[in-house]
Amino acid sequence: MAPINTLVSYSVQSVKVLDEDGSVDISLMPELSPEQLKALYEHMVLTREFDERMFKMQRQGRLGTFARVKGQEGAHIGAAFALRPEDWLVPAFRETGALLLRGLPMQQLLQYWSGDERGGAFPRSLNTLPIAVPVGTHMIHAVGIGWALRYSGTEAAVLTFFGEGATSEGDFSEAMNMAGVFQAPVVFCCQNNQYAISLPFTKQTASPTVAQKALAYGMTGIRVDGNDVFAVYRVTKEALERARLGLGPTLIEAFTYRVTDHTTSDDARRYRSEEEVEAWKRRDPIERLAKYLRAAGLLDDDGVAAVQAEAENRVAEAVTAFEAIPPISPEETFKHVFADLTPPLAEERDALLRRLATGASPGATKGE
Ligand SMILES: Cc1ncc(C[n+]2csc(CCOP(=O)(O)OP(=O)(O)O)c2C)c(N)n1
């Protein structure tokens, strides 16, 4: 019997296009028109403004707990910018910019993070699954959609996002394995922001990179500078194209950093240094793009101010629209999670409606 060579050699390709000083590697620069370049910038600024405003609203008690995306705009917006309308987006919970880019109304996202069930019922026309807070569960759904697309001969692909913490879940392994075996047209985009709440990447996995995990599943793995919107766009566009052509799935690791707390319930100062955060703030993805646009003659001081003012207006309008939405009815709170309500939930709903019919308050009393 011939010996099985158990030594597998591999290398992880790492892609960077846009430098911190705003200069680009021309040989790798993706094709983007001036309009697209400006749209990318405007969208990243809008996402940051929305994120800041949501944070203030949460602190004012006008919104529930939510996960900020500040510092990660290059990673998830760069990737989502490569999607076509017929593709599918399967998000986790830290992709605000991708959801807005997909066309989700801002006030609906505010509804979602305020705990209003209607916020999670995304318009079907967006080909976008709802936010998944349970870590990693949605990657399996992404593969299911991808497999269905392949089975039905539809030339479209799926882009799913998750954090590096999610790669320790069994769901990641199941999803990656199935996508590899069935050549499902799925692009797995890991926003490696280096912390899963307080757990640093080095304690999450013994692998030096997330990208190399692709090797075991027989798919392409690639690491990209996640604060470089051009690099993320480029590799995601190529991966989506391969997927649409039936050439299989890809794992992309967008290496980035969460410059704010994990969620509004966290205090990151308890587990990482100010110096570390400051160093990453200097690699800000929006600043980097702005430097490039200025050098290309596509942006100046007036332009920066105008984009910021427009973002503030749009966010203010969305907040006004959100706050004018009438409260959800008790009955409707049961409507948007399951297509067919589970028997225990149906029982709870009926009990609540019976109780309300007597004129009682919705709150349960002891013993009920
Ligand atoms: C199945 C499951 N386990 C635990 C949690 C609690 N939890 C929420 S976010 C999080 C860390 C996720 O880290 P990562 O996947 O790296 O994403 P990030 O928050 O950094 O974007 C944990 C453990 C959860 N939501 N779901």
Burial of 341 (0-12, 13-18, 19+ CB in 10 A): middle
Q: Do the Cβ atoms of 149 and 158 come closer than 8 Å?
A: yes
Nearest CA to ligand 1 atom 25: 134
Instruction: Name the nearest CA neighbour of 14 among 231, 167, 187.
Output: 231
Nearest CA to ligand 1 atom 3: 135
Helices 73-80 and 229-244 sit at what angle, rounded to 10 degrees?
Answer: 30
Task: Tell me the two tokens of residue 218.
Answer: 């027989």
Q: Which atom from ligand 1 is nearest to the alpha carbon of 72?
A: 21
Residue in 43, 94, 258, 283 annotated catalytic: 258
> Model's pTM, two decimal places?
0.95
What pLDDT, on a 0 to 100 scale, did the predictor assign at position 12?
86
Q: How far is CA 147 from CA 90, 156, 185, 241, 341, in A?
A: 14, 11, 7, 16, 26
CATH architecture type of domain 13-323: 3-Layer(aba) Sandwich (3.40)
The rounded Å distance from CA 198 to ligand 1 centre is: 10
Catalytic annotation on 138?
no
Residue of 94, 135, 137, 203 best suited for mutating to test ligand 1, as the one with most atoms within 8 Å of CB: 135
Pocket lining: 75 vs ligand 1, CB cutoff 6 Å:
no
Pocket lining: 200 vs ligand 1, CB cutoff 6 Å:
no
Locate CATH 3.40.50.970 in the chain: 13-323
The rounded Å distance from CA 165 to ligand 1 centre is: 6
What pLDDT, on a 0 to 100 scale, did the predictor assign at position 7?
66
- Please state the φ and ψ torsions of residue 9, each to the nearest 5 degrees: -100, 145
203: CB partners within 8 A, 6+ apart: none
Catalytic annotation on 262?
yes
Pocket lining: 94 vs ligand 1, CB cutoff 6 Å:
yes
Nearest CA to ligand 1 atom 21: 163
Cα separation, 5 vs 205, in Å, equals 25
Provide the CB-side half-sphere exposure for 245 (13 A, CA): 8
Instruction: Name the nearest CA neighbour of 244 among 36, 124, 83.
Output: 83
Q: Do the Cβ atoms of 318 and 110 come closer than 8 Å?
A: yes
Pocket lining: 204 vs ligand 1, CB cutoff 6 Å:
no
Q: How many helices and strands in the chain, by DSSP H and E?
A: 12, 8
Provide the CB-side half-sphere exposure for 340 (13 A, CA): 1
The rounded Å distance from CA 167 to ligand 1 centre is: 10
Q: Give the type of residue at 225.
A: D
Pocket lining: 138 vs ligand 1, CB cutoff 6 Å:
no
Note down pLDDT in tens along the chain; length 368 residues: 656 666 677 888 899 999 999 999 999 999 999 999 999 999 999 999 999 999 999 999 999 999 999 999 999 999 999 999 999 999 999 999 999 999 999 999 999 999 999 999 999 999 999 999 999 999 999 999 999 999 999 999 999 999 999 999 999 999 999 999 999 999 999 999 999 999 999 999 999 999 999 999 999 999 999 999 999 999 999 999 999 999 999 999 999 999 999 999 999 999 999 999 999 999 999 999 999 999 999 999 999 999 999 999 999 999 999 999 999 999 999 998 888 999 999 999 999 999 999 988 776 544 44
What pLDDT, on a 0 to 100 scale, did the predictor assign at position 310?
98
Pocket lining: 180 vs ligand 1, CB cutoff 6 Å:
no
The rounded Å distance from CA 196 to ligand 1 centre is: 6
Pocket lining: 197 vs ligand 1, CB cutoff 6 Å:
yes
What pLDDT, on a 0 to 100 scale, did the predictor assign at position 363?
67
The rounded Å distance from CA 256 to ligand 1 centre is: 16
